[in-house]
């Protein structure tokens, strides 16, 4: 982990902070798109060190948070079917559906297993031929290649008891949706480095051109974040709107071509409903017709489950950067990580959880 330490070096971060301060002549509101970035701003304490003129608003880049509530209800309905072993990333297990979460379903006897990769779920399917194994394929462009790989391998190896509850989302359409709001105050974006490592950033160039907003593809370590901010503010102060790449050690303009080819083989782009943001056209991946026999929604006939978001949770506004978690009346009172009302309080990338876990100002004010 030597190389990571370099990106957490206190002196380098301080020097960059000073440079940022000197660049700044007026206030700017900017958004870090990815929840991992939000968490690291707070976890590293960097949020408290930023110059006053910079307002960070937190974006929709928390895969668990934007997975629509009816999909969680569908997941629970699936997990409760007697023959089903339902596999999911750990984060997803505590996200409340309209009545309960997957962990509660598990405690009542549903067969729910936490896995780290869809390929683990595929292994479980091979080891349990008498069961039907469903993987909750959530996430952005970062998890999509693995999900595609699992689908492909299932076909190749003739595993016919493996299914995907497909819910992959795409980041650029969500950024465009945020920008298209008439009263959008966001003047620039830190784009998610991990996502761009897979997808590249050609699509972001379109957005920058169309909306005249600068975008900086940024990593996740404290030094990455502060460098990304410096590049973004420099663009804003000089009236430029390009896509720049701070995360050169990993992301490229074209992205990972092999991963993209894999995704294209298995998925096609479709409309998706985002929790909190509503439906966004061409913003997700669905399984191609050739893979319909792996599509859990079709195979298990759960397509018509619908659900409503709880009224008091303002996750939608939080995910669009319109409200801070602390502006939610339930924050820290009715809604805590132990008793979350909404997904942003559960996920390790959710803004509400980040504020609750690390936010020092809340305790001292």
Residues that bind ligand SF4 (CB under 6 A): 312-315, 318, 325, 328, 330-331, 335, 340-342, 344-345, 352
- Give min distance, CB of 351 to ligand SF4, in A: 7
How is residue 70 written in tokens?
């009816």
Count of residues in contact with other proteins, rule CB under 8 A:
39
> Which of 91, 4, 35 has the alpha carbon at shortest distance from 350?
35
Per partner kind, with CB cut-offs from 5 to 8 A, the member of ligand SF4, other proteins, none near residue 94 is: other proteins
Q: How many CB atoms lie within 10 A of CB 42?
A: 22
Residues 271, 281 contacting (CB under 8 angstroms): yes
Q: How far is the CB of 353 from ligand SF4 (least distance, A)?
A: 8
Print the binding letters for residues 165-204 with other proteins: x by CB under 8 A, - otherwise: ----------------------------------------
Chain center to CA of 240: 27
Which residues inside 91-150 make contact with other proteins, applying CB under 8 A?
Answer: 94, 103-104, 106-108, 114, 116
Shortest Å, Cβ 42 to other proteins: 6
Report how many helices (DSSP H) and strands (DSSP E) the chain contains, helices first. 17, 11
Shortest Cβ 236–other proteins spacing (Å): 23
Confirm or reject binding of residue 336 to other proteins (CB under 8 A).
yes
| Phi, psi angle pair for 243, to nearest 5° | -100, 125
> How far does Cα 272 stand from its chain's mean position?
14
Contact partner at residue 341 from ligand SF4, other proteins, none, CB < 5 to 8 Å by partner kind: ligand SF4
What is the closest distance, in whole angstroms, from the C-beta atom of residue 335 to other proteins in the complex? 12
Whole-angstrom distance, CA of residue 332 vs CA of residue 280: 30
Say how far apart CA 246 and CA 7 lie, in whole Å.
Answer: 12
The residues in 26-55 that bind other proteins, with binding defined as CB under 8 A, are 42-49
Q: Which is nearer to ligand SF4, 175 or 345 (CB)?
A: 345
Q: In sequence order, which ranges of the chain are alpha helices (DSSP H)?
A: 2-6, 10-23, 35-43, 63-66, 69-79, 102-107, 118-127, 144-156, 171-180, 193-199, 202-211, 222-237, 257-266, 296-299, 315-319, 351-358, 361-364
Q: Pick the binder of other proteins from 61, 172, 222, 276 (CB under 8 A).
A: 222
CB of 115 to ligand SF4, least distance (A): 25
Instruction: Write out the residues near other proteins by the rule CB under 8 A.
Output: 1-2, 4, 8-10, 13-14, 42-49, 94, 103-104, 106-108, 114, 116, 222-223, 336-339, 348, 356-360, 362-364
């Amino acid at each position: 982990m030597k190389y990571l330490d370099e990106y957490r070096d206190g002196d380098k971060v301080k020097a960059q902070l000073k440079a940022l301060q000197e660049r700044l002549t007026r206030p700017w509101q900017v958004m870090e798109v990815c929840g991992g970035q939000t968490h690291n701003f707070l976890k590293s304490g960097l949020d408290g060190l930023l110059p006053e003129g910079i307002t960070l608003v937190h974006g929709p880049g928390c895969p668990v948070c934007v997975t629509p509530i009816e999909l969680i209800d569908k997941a629970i309905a699936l997990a409760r079917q007697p023959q089903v072993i339902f596999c999911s990333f750990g984060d997803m297990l505590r996200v409340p559906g309209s009545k309960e979460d997957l962990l509660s379903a598990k405690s009542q006897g549903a067969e729910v297993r936490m896995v780290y990769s869809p390929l683990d779920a595929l292994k479980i399917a091979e080891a349990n031929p008498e069961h039907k194994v469903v993987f909750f394929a959530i996430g952005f462009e970062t998890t999509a290649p693995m999900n595609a790989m699992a689908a492909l391998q299932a076909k190749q190896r003739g595993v016919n008891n493996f299914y995907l509850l497909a819910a992959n989302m795409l980041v650029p359409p969500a950024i465009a949706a945020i920008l298209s709001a008439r009263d959008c105050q966001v003047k620039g974006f830190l784009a998610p480095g991990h996502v761009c490592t897979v997808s590249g950033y050609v699509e972001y160039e379109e957005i920058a051109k169309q909306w005249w907003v600068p975008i900086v593809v940024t990593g996740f370590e404290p030094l990455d974040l502060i460098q990304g901010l410096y590049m973004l503010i420099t663009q804003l102060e000089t009236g430029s709107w390009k896509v720049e790449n701070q995360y050169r050690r990993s992301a490229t303009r074209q992205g990972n071509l092999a991963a993209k080819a894999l995704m294209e083989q298995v998925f096609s782009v479709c409309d998706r409903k985002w929790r909190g943001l509503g439906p966004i056209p061409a913003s997700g991946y669905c399984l191609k017709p050739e893979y319909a026999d792996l599509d859990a929604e079709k195979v298990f006939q759960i397509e018509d489950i619908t659900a409503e978001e709880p009224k008091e949770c303002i996750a939608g506004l939080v995910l669009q950067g319109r409200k801070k978690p602390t502006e939610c009346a339930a924050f820290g009172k009715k809604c805590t990580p132990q008793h979350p009302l909404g997904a942003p309080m559960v996920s390790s990338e959710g803004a509400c959880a980040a504020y609750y876990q690390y936010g020092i100002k809340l305790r001292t004010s």
